[in-house]
Chain A
Amino acid sequence: DQQVKQNSPSLSVQEGRISILNCDYTNSMFDYFLWYKKYPAEGPTFLISISSIKDKNEDGRFTVFLNKSAKHLSLHIVPSQPGDSAVYFCAASGNTGNQFYFGTGTSLTVIP
Protein backbone atom coordinates (compact mmCIF):
# COMPACT_ATOMS: atom_id res chain seq x y z
CA ASP A 1 0.00 0.00 0.00
CA GLN A 2 1.18 3.48 -0.79
CA GLN A 3 1.21 5.44 2.44
CA VAL A 4 3.13 8.38 1.04
CA LYS A 5 2.14 9.83 -2.31
CA GLN A 6 3.66 12.35 -4.61
CA ASN A 7 1.09 12.83 -7.32
CA SER A 8 3.17 15.04 -9.57
CA PRO A 9 5.91 13.03 -11.26
CA SER A 10 7.49 16.15 -12.72
CA LEU A 11 7.62 19.91 -12.33
CA SER A 12 9.31 22.65 -14.37
CA VAL A 13 10.02 26.08 -12.95
CA GLN A 14 11.86 29.14 -14.20
CA GLU A 15 15.04 30.08 -12.41
CA GLY A 16 14.37 32.59 -9.65
CA ARG A 17 10.76 31.51 -9.19
CA ILE A 18 9.32 29.42 -6.42
CA SER A 19 9.18 25.61 -6.69
CA ILE A 20 6.45 23.90 -4.72
CA LEU A 21 6.59 20.15 -4.36
CA ASN A 22 3.67 18.37 -2.76
CA CYS A 23 3.27 15.19 -0.78
CA ASP A 24 0.27 13.47 0.78
CA TYR A 25 0.17 10.72 3.35
CA THR A 26 -2.51 8.43 4.67
CA ASN A 27 -1.32 7.36 8.11
CA SER A 28 -2.17 9.86 10.87
CA MET A 29 0.36 8.10 13.14
CA PHE A 30 3.30 9.41 11.16
CA ASP A 31 5.17 11.85 13.33
CA TYR A 32 8.24 12.79 11.32
CA PHE A 33 8.51 13.89 7.73
CA LEU A 34 11.51 14.38 5.51
CA TRP A 35 12.51 15.52 2.07
CA TYR A 36 15.36 14.04 0.12
CA LYS A 37 17.01 15.19 -3.06
CA LYS A 38 18.42 12.78 -5.59
CA TYR A 39 20.66 13.42 -8.55
CA PRO A 40 20.99 10.85 -11.34
CA ALA A 41 23.29 7.95 -10.51
CA GLU A 42 23.53 9.04 -6.88
CA GLY A 43 21.71 8.05 -3.72
CA PRO A 44 19.12 10.31 -2.10
CA THR A 45 20.48 13.07 0.12
CA PHE A 46 18.64 14.29 3.17
CA LEU A 47 17.42 17.85 2.66
CA ILE A 48 15.06 18.99 5.38
CA SER A 49 12.68 17.50 7.93
CA ILE A 50 9.76 18.46 10.11
CA SER A 51 8.26 16.99 13.24
CA SER A 52 4.51 16.57 13.50
CA ILE A 53 4.43 19.07 16.37
CA LYS A 54 5.42 21.82 13.96
CA ASP A 55 3.78 23.22 10.87
CA LYS A 56 6.78 24.88 9.30
CA ASN A 57 10.51 24.41 9.16
CA GLU A 58 12.86 26.62 7.23
CA ASP A 59 16.46 26.12 6.15
CA GLY A 60 17.83 28.72 3.80
CA ARG A 61 15.98 28.57 0.51
CA PHE A 62 14.06 25.47 1.58
CA THR A 63 10.90 25.51 3.66
CA VAL A 64 8.72 22.55 4.51
CA PHE A 65 5.10 23.06 5.49
CA LEU A 66 3.00 20.46 7.26
CA ASN A 67 -0.79 20.43 7.32
CA LYS A 68 -1.73 17.56 9.62
CA SER A 69 -5.47 17.90 9.18
CA ALA A 70 -5.07 17.53 5.44
CA LYS A 71 -2.25 14.97 5.80
CA HIS A 72 -0.25 17.07 3.40
CA LEU A 73 3.22 18.47 3.31
CA SER A 74 4.99 20.63 0.81
CA LEU A 75 8.50 21.74 0.06
CA HIS A 76 9.05 25.29 -1.11
CA ILE A 77 12.28 26.28 -2.80
CA VAL A 78 12.77 29.97 -3.34
CA PRO A 79 14.44 31.23 -5.36
CA SER A 80 14.84 28.14 -7.51
CA GLN A 81 18.24 27.57 -9.06
CA PRO A 82 19.32 25.30 -11.94
CA GLY A 83 21.33 23.23 -9.45
CA ASP A 84 18.07 22.35 -7.71
CA SER A 85 17.11 20.22 -10.70
CA ALA A 86 16.80 16.73 -9.25
CA VAL A 87 14.25 14.21 -8.08
CA TYR A 88 12.73 15.06 -4.70
CA PHE A 89 11.37 12.35 -2.44
CA CYS A 90 9.23 12.93 0.57
CA ALA A 91 9.27 10.39 3.36
CA ALA A 92 7.38 9.73 6.56
CA SER A 93 8.24 7.90 9.72
CA GLY A 94 5.97 6.26 12.25
CA ASN A 95 6.28 6.71 16.00
CA THR A 96 8.10 3.42 16.37
CA GLY A 97 10.93 4.90 14.40
CA ASN A 98 11.39 1.66 12.57
CA GLN A 99 8.93 2.20 9.76
CA PHE A 100 9.87 4.54 7.05
CA TYR A 101 7.96 5.23 3.86
CA PHE A 102 9.05 7.07 0.74
CA GLY A 103 6.97 8.68 -1.95
CA THR A 104 7.71 7.95 -5.60
CA GLY A 105 9.46 11.24 -6.21
CA THR A 106 8.91 14.42 -8.21
CA SER A 107 11.44 15.36 -10.86
CA LEU A 108 12.11 19.08 -10.66
CA THR A 109 13.62 20.94 -13.60
CA VAL A 110 14.69 24.52 -13.05
CA ILE A 111 14.98 26.29 -16.38
CA PRO A 112 17.73 28.92 -16.62
Chain B
Amino acid sequence: DTAVSQTPKYLVTQMGNDKSIKCEQNLGHDTMYWYKQDSKKFLKIMFSYNNKELIINETVPNRFSPKSPDKAHLNLHINSLELGDSAVYFCASSQVVGGAFPRYFGPGTRLLVL
Protein backbone atom coordinates (compact mmCIF):
# COMPACT_ATOMS: atom_id res chain seq x y z
CA ASP B 1 0.00 0.00 0.00
CA THR B 2 1.25 3.47 -0.87
CA ALA B 3 1.99 5.43 2.30
CA VAL B 4 1.85 8.92 0.77
CA SER B 5 0.12 9.36 -2.55
CA GLN B 6 -0.18 12.37 -4.80
CA THR B 7 -2.33 13.09 -7.80
CA PRO B 8 -1.68 13.89 -10.52
CA LYS B 9 1.87 12.71 -11.15
CA TYR B 10 2.24 15.00 -14.13
CA LEU B 11 0.56 18.30 -14.77
CA VAL B 12 1.08 20.42 -17.88
CA THR B 13 -0.88 23.64 -18.04
CA GLN B 14 -0.91 27.15 -19.43
CA MET B 15 0.11 30.30 -17.61
CA GLY B 16 -2.74 31.93 -15.76
CA ASN B 17 -4.60 28.70 -15.08
CA ASP B 18 -5.62 27.46 -11.64
CA LYS B 19 -4.70 23.90 -10.66
CA SER B 20 -4.79 21.64 -7.62
CA ILE B 21 -2.57 18.81 -6.43
CA LYS B 22 -3.98 16.30 -3.99
CA CYS B 23 -2.13 14.42 -1.29
CA GLU B 24 -3.23 11.62 0.97
CA GLN B 25 -1.38 9.62 3.60
CA ASN B 26 -2.64 6.37 5.10
CA LEU B 27 -0.13 6.24 7.95
CA GLY B 28 -2.21 7.97 10.58
CA HIS B 29 0.42 10.71 10.84
CA ASP B 30 -0.46 14.04 12.38
CA THR B 31 1.78 16.27 10.29
CA MET B 32 1.84 16.78 6.55
CA TYR B 33 4.06 18.97 4.38
CA TRP B 34 4.40 20.40 0.92
CA TYR B 35 7.88 20.77 -0.55
CA LYS B 36 8.98 22.27 -3.84
CA GLN B 37 12.00 20.95 -5.69
CA ASP B 38 13.24 23.55 -8.13
CA SER B 39 15.47 23.23 -11.18
CA LYS B 40 18.55 23.37 -8.97
CA LYS B 41 17.28 20.33 -7.08
CA PHE B 42 16.68 22.24 -3.86
CA LEU B 43 13.89 20.80 -1.75
CA LYS B 44 12.24 23.73 0.01
CA ILE B 45 9.45 23.50 2.50
CA MET B 46 6.35 25.43 1.59
CA PHE B 47 3.75 24.48 4.18
CA SER B 48 3.28 22.21 7.13
CA TYR B 49 0.01 21.20 8.74
CA ASN B 50 -0.56 19.43 12.03
CA ASN B 51 -4.02 17.98 12.60
CA LYS B 52 -5.46 20.29 9.96
CA GLU B 53 -3.81 23.36 11.49
CA LEU B 54 -1.25 25.38 9.56
CA ILE B 55 2.06 25.45 11.47
CA ILE B 56 4.61 26.42 8.84
CA ASN B 57 4.01 28.89 6.07
CA GLU B 58 7.24 29.77 4.36
CA THR B 59 7.63 32.71 2.06
CA VAL B 60 5.35 31.43 -0.63
CA PRO B 61 3.22 33.60 -2.93
CA ASN B 62 -0.36 33.76 -1.75
CA ARG B 63 -1.34 32.22 -5.08
CA PHE B 64 -0.51 28.98 -3.29
CA SER B 65 -3.18 27.90 -0.85
CA PRO B 66 -3.02 24.64 1.08
CA LYS B 67 -6.17 23.00 2.31
CA SER B 68 -6.44 20.19 4.82
CA PRO B 69 -9.97 18.76 4.98
CA ASP B 70 -8.77 16.15 7.48
CA LYS B 71 -5.44 15.09 8.88
CA ALA B 72 -4.98 12.44 6.19
CA HIS B 73 -5.22 14.94 3.33
CA LEU B 74 -3.31 18.07 2.41
CA ASN B 75 -4.14 19.54 -0.96
CA LEU B 76 -2.34 22.35 -2.71
CA HIS B 77 -4.21 24.82 -4.88
CA ILE B 78 -2.31 27.19 -7.13
CA ASN B 79 -3.97 30.21 -8.71
CA SER B 80 -2.79 32.15 -11.73
CA LEU B 81 0.06 29.80 -12.55
CA GLU B 82 3.35 31.36 -13.63
CA LEU B 83 6.30 29.94 -15.55
CA GLY B 84 8.39 29.96 -12.38
CA ASP B 85 5.96 27.59 -10.71
CA SER B 86 7.28 24.78 -12.89
CA ALA B 87 8.87 22.32 -10.48
CA VAL B 88 8.33 19.02 -8.77
CA TYR B 89 6.07 19.27 -5.74
CA PHE B 90 6.40 16.68 -3.00
CA CYS B 91 3.95 15.95 -0.26
CA ALA B 92 5.29 14.37 2.93
CA SER B 93 4.14 13.27 6.36
CA SER B 94 5.52 12.61 9.80
CA GLN B 95 4.28 11.37 13.14
CA VAL B 96 4.60 14.35 15.45
CA VAL B 97 5.09 18.07 15.30
CA GLY B 98 7.89 20.03 16.96
CA GLY B 99 11.20 18.44 16.13
CA ALA B 100 9.47 16.27 13.55
CA PHE B 101 10.93 15.75 10.18
CA PRO B 102 9.25 14.48 7.03
CA ARG B 103 9.75 10.77 7.08
CA TYR B 104 7.64 9.66 4.16
CA PHE B 105 7.39 11.48 0.87
CA GLY B 106 4.98 11.05 -1.96
CA PRO B 107 6.26 10.33 -5.47
CA GLY B 108 6.03 13.97 -6.50
CA THR B 109 3.92 15.92 -8.97
CA ARG B 110 5.80 17.29 -11.94
CA LEU B 111 4.24 20.60 -12.86
CA LEU B 112 5.11 22.27 -16.13
CA VAL B 113 3.69 25.69 -16.85
CA LEU B 114 3.81 26.74 -20.50
Question: Chain A interface (Cβ within 8 Å of chain B)?
Answer: 2, 32, 34, 36, 41-46, 49, 89, 91, 93, 97-100, 102, 104-105
Contacts and interface: CB of A to CB of B under 8 A. Distances in A.
Contacts of B45: 99-100
Interface residues of B, number: 25
26 contacts: A2-B42, A32-B101, A34-B101, A36-B105, A41-B107, A41-B108, A43-B4, A43-B90, A43-B104, A43-B106, A43-B107, A45-B105, A46-B103, A49-B101, A89-B43, A93-B99, A97-B98, A98-B98, A99-B45, A100-B101, A102-B42, A102-B43, A104-B40, A104-B41, A104-B42, A105-B41
A106 to B, nearest CB: 10
A44 B101 contact: no
B27 to A, nearest CB: 12
Contact of B101 (A41, A43, A93, A104): A93
7 tightest CB-CB pairs across the interface, nearest first?
A43-B105, A97-B99, A102-B43, A104-B41, A97-B98, A46-B103, A44-B105
A10 to B, nearest CB: 12
